[in-house]
Amino acid sequence: MEKLQQTPICSRHRDLKALMAPFGGWDMPIQYEGIIAEHIWCRTKASLFDICHMGEFLFQGDFETAGLEDVFTFSVKTIPVGRSRYGFLLNDRGGIIDDLIVFRLTEDKVMIVVNAATAPKDFAAIKSRLLGGSFTDISAATGKLDIQGPLSRDVLVSAFGDQVVSIPYFKFIPMNILGTEAIVSRTGYTGELGYEIFLPSDKTAELWDLLLRDERVRPAGLGARDVLRLEVGYSLYGNDIDEAATPLEAGLEGFVNFDTNFIGKEALLQQKEQGVARKKVAFQTSNRRAPRHDYEIYSGEQRIGTVTSGVFSPMAGYGIGIGFVRPEFSALGTVLDISHERISMTATVCELPFYRNGSLRS
């Protein structure tokens, strides 16, 4: 049996009677009071997520001479200090090894935040492409809590002062929290106003307890997080994107800077010229029934694709999903038939995001 890693506050989740399950090699909370209740709380109040399973790497050195500038699908040197940038680490076929965010800490230092399940592979891939500089894995020493929802700013102001008020989207600031140095970033995965807080792992439990003492804050698990992110169209690594998918197939070309040199660039240029064999689409069902990962997508009797993510959307009131289909079936309004064993449903290709009324840029 797989031995699961535990975050510094795993005991807190069990004390709260959370439903626990494996995720990316970690023992993680799926829900506390219930997925829909936690989802609604995040959309209307403020939810606290344990994200300590994510990986964090630190690089220091000259970005160009050390080769870091050519590692990702974006330029590192053009990220202003105090800001972050989202993009990809690709293989030589243009497949997505991981999606990640790079935080520019100083002129010559960045923090790279990666997904939990791919962290060891990511570290090895990045290290193999570097020609110099200092590159270290700080995941074990780093804790990460996300507070998300329209009241998240008010909660942090109450706890730590008004410094957070001035943080714009995708910017971060260093702060003293609980007597230690922390990074507070206005980023998240829910489509709501929110913050990601990085601090020493041994301070995570204290911060968790402090924030949950505020009646505006409730804990939320990965189940609600999945519904929240899908409603706003964010991809989940391992479901919607992986090494078999390219950013072009996944509709994420906007996060690829072809003016930079990165591994996988030639494969993507060739794919741009020849066209993709499949395209990621969003679709909504005709009722509350939700499509699920690996359900098959048909047009009549033809199998044309596969569902990669699907849930019931409390905000929309019907099932929503994304998946890959043959390009000729990707136009808006195309009717799809989705089936799995004895389950079948009708869906229609639609635009992302499914939910547009979040507080993200408030």
User: What pLDDT score was predicted for residue 359?
Assistant: 96
Cβ neighbour number for residue 3 with a 10 Å cutoff = 7
- Report the alpha-carbon distance of residue 47 to residue 259 in Å, rounded: 39
> pTM to 2 decimals?
0.97
Distance of CA 235 to the CA centre of its chain: 7
| Residue ranges of the chain assigned to CATH 3.30.70.1400 | 55-137
pLDDT mean over 269-293: 96
CATH of domain 10-52+140-231: 3.30.1360.120
- Give the other-Cβ count within 10 Å of 274's Cβ: 8
Distance CA 264, CA 16 (A): 45
- How much is the pLDDT for 10? 97
User: Which DSSP letter does residue 207 get?
Assistant: H
Q: Is 120 helix (H, G, I), strand (E, B) or coil?
A: helix
Quick check: 1 pLDDT over 90?
A: no
CATH entry 3.20.20.10 includes domain 55-137? no
Q: Which residue has the tokens 């993009």?
A: 87
pLDDT higher than threshold 80 for residue 222: yes
Q: Above pLDDT 90, what percent of the chain?
A: 98
DSSP-derived 3-state class of residue 270: helix
Q: Decide if pLDDT at 165 tops 70.
A: yes
**Confidence (pLDDT) at 337:** 97
The pLDDT value recorded for residue 202 is 98
According to DSSP H, which parts of 109-190 are helical? 119-129, 152-160
**DSSP per-residue codes, 287-315:** SSPPP-TT-EEEETTEEEEEEEEEEEETT
CATH 3.30.1360.120 domain span(s) along the chain: 10-52+140-231
- Residues with Cβ within 8 Å of 321's Cβ and at least 6 positions away in sequence, in order, are 230, 282, 283, 284, 285, 290, 291, 307, 308, 309, 310, 311, 338, 347
Contact 133, 61 (CB under 8 A): yes
Tens digit of each residue's pLDDT (9 = 90 or more) over 110-155? 999 999 999 999 999 999 999 999 999 999 999 999 999 999 999 9
Q: Can you give the pLDDT at residue 262?
A: 98
Q: Check pLDDT > 60 for residue 80.
A: yes
- Give CA–CA dist 242/229, Å, rounded: 17
Count of CB atoms within 10 A of residue 181's CB? 12
Q: For residues 87 and 265, give the distance between their C-alpha atoms in angstroms, rounded to a whole number.
A: 13
- Model confidence at 291: pLDDT above 90: yes
Q: Does residue 2 have a pLDDT over 90?
A: no
Sheet of 180-185: strand order equals 172-177, 180-185, 194-200, 142-148, 46-50, 217-219
- Does position 88 have pLDDT exceeding 80, yes or no? yes
Q: Looking at residues 158-164, what average pLDDT do you find?
A: 97
Close Cβ partners of 240 (under 8 Å, ≥ 6 residues apart): 250, 280, 308, 309, 322
What is the SS3 assignment for 215? Answer: coil
Q: Tell me the CATH architecture of domain 277-350.
A: Beta Barrel (2.40)
Phi-psi group of 300: left, alpha or beta (phi > 0 → left; psi -120 to 50 → alpha; rest → beta): left
Q: Dihedral, CA atoms, 19, 156, 55, 133, nearest 10 degrees?
A: -170
| Confidence at 236, pLDDT banded by 50, 70, 90 | very high
d(CA 194, CA 149): 6
The reported pLDDT for the residue numbered 27 is 97
